[in-house]
Amino acid sequence: MDLGRTACALAPLAGAALLVFCIVRQARRADGRGLAARLGTGAWVGVFALLEVVVLALVASGIYRGQAGSVVAFSAVCAAAGVAASQRDRVFSRVLAAGGRGLPMGALVFAVDLVLVLVASYLAFFSVELPWNDALADIAPLSAASEQAVIALAMLAAWFVVCRRNWACSVLLVVLQVIGLAQYFVVVLKGSVIMPGDLLALGTAAAVGSNLRFQMAAPALDAMTITCVGLALLAYVMPVRAQLRCVDEAARAKADAVEGGSGGRLATRVPGWIAKALEIACCAALACAYVGVARDTSVRCAERLAEEEVKFWEPTSTYREHGFLTSFLTIAHDMPIDAPAGYSEGAAREVERTWGEHAEGSGEWANHQAARAQFDEVRPSVVCIMNETFADLRVLGDFGYPGPRFFSSVDDCLSRGHLFVSVLGGSTCNSEFEFLTGNSMAFVGPGKYPYNLYDLSRCAALPQQMRQLGYATHAIHPNLASNWKRDKVYEQFGFDEFLDIEDFEGAPEFHSGVTDAATYDRVLELLEGDRPQFVFDVTMQNHTGYDQFNIPEDKLEHYDIKGQSDYDNAQLSEYVSCIEESDRALEAFLGRLRALDRPVIVVFFGDHQPNISPWENDRLSPEADHASLDHIMKTYQTNYLVWANYDVAGSDQVSEERDLSLNYLGTLMGLEAGLPLTDYQRAQAGLMQALPVVTPIASREQGGPWHKTDDAAAPFAGTVRDLSYLNYLEFGSRV
């Protein structure tokens, strides 16, 4: 073990030992203080000892990977804070003694306590921001002030609600520190931030987090050091019982100075009642102020961010610029789905009719009609594979990667191309939502997960449509059924059966879970049924993280981006190796379908790019391009193909390239396979020709430049408005 690592281990160990000694010494002292006082002080010292043990565990487990100096600094500050906390009763006793001599200590104690709470609330701001925000010095001043005001009001409200006991403020400070650390791990592991909708997906996050490699850097520990200082200050917020003792001592002193004593007692009771009334009034005023500020801050921030044209299509940057709580509250304020400006059901129905007629007037419609006549005769099964994190990273730049070899070589597809999605590095359920419903997340809002937030039983979806056509409908996902509430949502969407991890006991695994090939085996079993089948297969093996170092050597691809660390190159190589394994499984699966004596349509697509894409994109592109929409949208595209094992009427099946966004993919499949389309899908078929790519970040016409989707000056703004009407008609108005 090197000297730095030794210091990392010894410093918190020594600090914990010192604080344990202080606790034992406190317990043995017999200075006339009551048991409750000794226990209270011991508990405070115990908190700091526990923090030392936590950091010792982080170092010993290898989670902490930062500088040794931060550990030493933390241990020293934490130990000093604990020792200081052990002396709190001596300080309180002196204050009580001063009060007993008749000094006006009540107001002074209240003023000091108020200052300590406010200073602790200021430090809490750094507890939240410092672990993850490497641009903290550049945070917008008004945003920082808003966040600090919310924290201060929360601290004061907590303090008064529990009758000015310091434990409530301390708990709030620790909670804010935990939020800051959680945000740190989300940023590092997923390249994303905590959104309001994530609070409803904690179970899913815990379930998939077992494959992630948690590591902590120095700023996270520095934030914990600041939290220790805040806790030390709060330890000196005088408990109410001590303040009452102060009042009683003063009362007795005055009583002794007055003949008979009754006048002194009466003289102190009246100010005591007045003080209590003032405290209640102050508590009520602060509570009202907090409710008002907490509610209005998000509104004001939303208005300010809109004026500054700051959008949440790149949430990590926005959170860094405006702070965690400010950004979080702004998004939370926007959680409800509001009707678009000028919307009415009649207007939406007219839009649906107009774009449907546009689709039926195109040359593509004649091909659909030919496939439609064939569909009623052959009744093909439909297999939709949403492959975890499948993407061709050549879109980011040239690093010697040839791309997924088989996928790129398939030359008899009905169509194929780049697929533009709404998420990056995670949030798979939103890609499912777009594909299965045809609705775009562009009109749902940032930070939302429809699977978790809404009752989707009234939302039209592909499984319902296929079941109405006489198909047996199956969903497959080899993980917990409760993830993203799939067990409930799939039933609402119309799936007859859901095969989850319990149905894959003993199945082979690769990287992060059950292999793609194992799920394809189950698909082939389902295709043996008498009825035509609709199968939606959500694979698992390629799931993040990409530092598990568990790829067999004979399947490990090696790639190297110049100027990138060995660790990051190892992550890139591990990801690419996963995609190659998926590519081999797809080749074997389509080979078996070619030999299958029944018609099958296959839709294969990736749900999003991996969490490593943003920094790989930056390293492979000139820095001057990093702020452009062209650069950003490279990381929001995957790939798709629509393929059939039979000759589909109306199609040359020559793998025509066609880029589109994920919300259109189900309609494209229906259009080319000859499914009877709904009114909504007919309108989408028309819109797809006019505006083939629509995402929450940006949209573009065929071959045209990117524009922000909500840009009123964009040449296709009217088309975006029409699509927003249809999305609200089909989804927003039904949830």
Mean pLDDT of 220-240: 89
Question: Percentage of the chain surpassing pLDDT 90?
Answer: 47
| Strands in 148-271 per DSSP E | none
Residue 578 has pLDDT above 70, yes or no: yes
Query: CA-CA distances (angstroms) from residue 564 to 391, 394, 570, 619?
Result: 21, 17, 10, 8
Per-residue confidence band for 318, with pLDDT thresholds at 50, 70 and 90: confident
> What tokens does 376 get?
């009623």
Which pLDDT score is estimated for 709? 93
Which pLDDT score is estimated for 114? 85
Which pLDDT score is estimated for 212? 60
| φ/ψ (deg, to 5) at 716 | -110, 20
Bond before 40 cis per omega within 30 degrees: no
| 35-44, 289-298, 410-419, range with the lowest pLDDT | 289-298
Q: In sequence order, what DSSP letters do the residues of 498-544 get, joined into one string?
A: EE-GGGGTT--EETTEE-HHHHHHHHHHHTTSSS-EEEEEE--TTPS
d(CA 32, CA 722): 78
Each residue of 442-494: pLDDT tens digit? 998 877 888 877 888 889 999 999 999 999 999 999 998 888 889 889 999 99
Cβ proximity of 478 and 513 under 8 Å: yes
Each residue of 284-299: pLDDT tens digit? 565 565 555 555 554 5
d(CA 234, CA 230): 6
Each residue of 382-406: pLDDT tens digit? 999 999 999 999 999 988 899 999 9
d(CA 477, CA 483): 10
Mean pLDDT of 23-32: 62
Residue with tokens 């045809």: 438
Mean pLDDT of 180-209: 71
Per the model's pLDDT, the better-predicted residue between 277 and 637 turns out to be 637
Mean pLDDT of 667-693: 95
Residue 306 has pLDDT above 50, yes or no: no
Neighbours of 547 (CB within 10 A): 18
> What tokens does 104 get?
């006006």
Cβ proximity of 404 and 358 under 8 Å: no
Q: Which amino acid makes up residue 227?
A: T
Residue 691 has pLDDT above 60, yes or no: yes
DSSP state of 676: P
DSSP state of 385: E
> What tokens does 308 get?
């500054």
Which of these, 541, 602, 666, lies nearest to 407 by C-alpha position? 602
Query: In sequence order, what are the residues at sequence separation of 6 or more whose Cβ sits closer than 8 angstroms to the Cβ of residue 401?
Result: 393, 394, 559, 576
Residue 594 has pLDDT above 90, yes or no: yes
Per the model's pLDDT, the better-predicted residue between 8 and 632 turns out to be 632
Highest mean pLDDT pick, 81-85, 111-115, 369-373, 527-531: 369-373
Which pLDDT score is estimated for 189? 75
Which pLDDT score is estimated for 562? 83
d(CA 583, CA 541): 12
CA-based max dimension of the chain: 112
d(CA 631, CA 480): 35
Which pLDDT score is estimated for 281? 62
Pairing verdict, β 513-514 and 509-510? antiparallel
> Cα dihedral angle (205, 208, 211, 215), rounded to 10 degrees?
0
| 119-123, 155-159, 547-551, range with the lowest pLDDT | 155-159
Per the model's pLDDT, the better-predicted residue between 429 and 18 turns out to be 429
Question: Residue ranges of the alpha helices (H) in 309-427?
Answer: 315-322, 324-333, 345-360, 363-378, 405-409
Mean pLDDT of 678-696: 95
DSSP state of 216: B
d(CA 370, CA 362): 14
Q: In sequence order, what DSSP letters do the residues of 138-160 get, joined into one string?
A: GS-HHHHHHHHHHHHHHHHHHHH
Residue 365 has pLDDT above 50, yes or no: yes
Strand partners, 513: 510
Highest mean pLDDT pick, 185-189, 566-570, 593-597: 593-597
Q: What is the Cα Rg of the chain in Å? A: 31
Which of these, 685, 656, 719, lies nearest to 362 by C-alpha position? 685
Cβ proximity of 226 and 130 under 8 Å: yes
Per-residue confidence band for 328, with pLDDT thresholds at 50, 70 and 90: confident
Which pLDDT score is estimated for 216? 85
Pairing verdict, β 698-700 and 660-661? unpaired
Query: CA-CA distances (angstroms) from residue 510 to 15, 340, 343, 384, 555?
Result: 43, 45, 49, 21, 11
Highest mean pLDDT pick, 216-220, 296-300, 718-722: 718-722
d(CA 72, CA 70): 5
Residue 35 has pLDDT above 70, yes or no: no
* Residue 494 zone, left/alpha/beta (φ > 0; ψ -120 to 50; rest): left
d(CA 559, CA 56): 36
Q: What is the separation, in whole angstroms, between the first and last Cα of the chain?
A: 58
d(CA 70, CA 53): 15
> What tokens does 379 get?
């009744």
Q: In sequence order, what DSSP letters do the residues of 407-425 get, joined into one string?
A: HHH----SEEEEEE-S-SS
d(CA 157, CA 78): 27
Neighbours of 608 (CB within 10 A): 27
Per the model's pLDDT, the better-predicted residue between 666 and 323 turns out to be 666
Each residue of 483-526: pLDDT tens digit? 888 988 999 999 999 999 999 999 999 998 999 999 999 999 99
Mean pLDDT of 594-610: 95
Burial class (CB in 10 A: 0-12, 13-18, 19+), 493: buried
Residue 309 has pLDDT above 60, yes or no: no
d(CA 318, CA 688): 31
Residue 207 has pLDDT above 70, yes or no: no
d(CA 398, CA 412): 27
Question: Percentage of the chain surpassing pLDDT 70?
Answer: 82
